[in-house]
Copies of this chain bind each other. A is one copy, B any other.
Amino acid sequence: MTTPMPAPKISIRIDLPNGSRLGPGKIALLESVREKRSISAAARDHAMSYRRAWLLIDDLNRAFAEPVVTTFPGRSQGTGAQLTPFGARLIELYRAVEGATAETGAAPIGEIVAASNKLYEPGALTRSRPKADGEGADPPA
């Protein structure tokens, strides 16, 4: 009796020639802006400060020839942002890269996952080196 193994999560990061980076965090933030039409609501979705969300979106707006999000400074902070058509396209392109990886990388990804240790609970980097027998080492919070 075997339990089916959960699919691994695959994340792609693209380092653009100008040095800016596009990864899962910025894309998820753009998806929240599309849904909420608000940078502050999108920031809350990802448990980040408004300032950090604003800086990430500002970086994206500068990293591409066209903006990804437009804001309406006249309105209140909660309701004034909108994804541009290019922003929507950028999400689509990024998700297409992910899809290509999942599809054509399926064989090596599957072999990596099949070789993984089902009993391991990581945490070595977030706690002190455990005692030799592992007893008494609390898992990380």
Chain A interfacial positions (CB closer than 8 Å to B): 5-22, 55-56, 58-59, 62-66, 86, 90, 93-94, 96-97, 100-101, 103-105, 107-109, 111-113, 115-122, 124-125, 129
Contacts and interface: CB of A to CB of B under 8 A. Distances in A.
Contacts of A14: 8-10, 109, 112-113
A137 to B, nearest CB: 13
A100 B90 contact: no
A20 B113 CA distance: 11
Given A20-B122, A94-B108, 15 more contacts: A7-B17, A10-B14, A16-B113, A19-B120, A59-B125, A63-B117, A65-B117, A90-B112, A93-B109, A96-B108, A97-B101, A100-B100, A100-B104, A101-B101, A104-B104
A122 B10 contact: no
Number of copies: 2
A64 to B, nearest CB: 5
A139 B122 CA distance: 37
Contact of A100 (B17, B55, B63, B108): B108
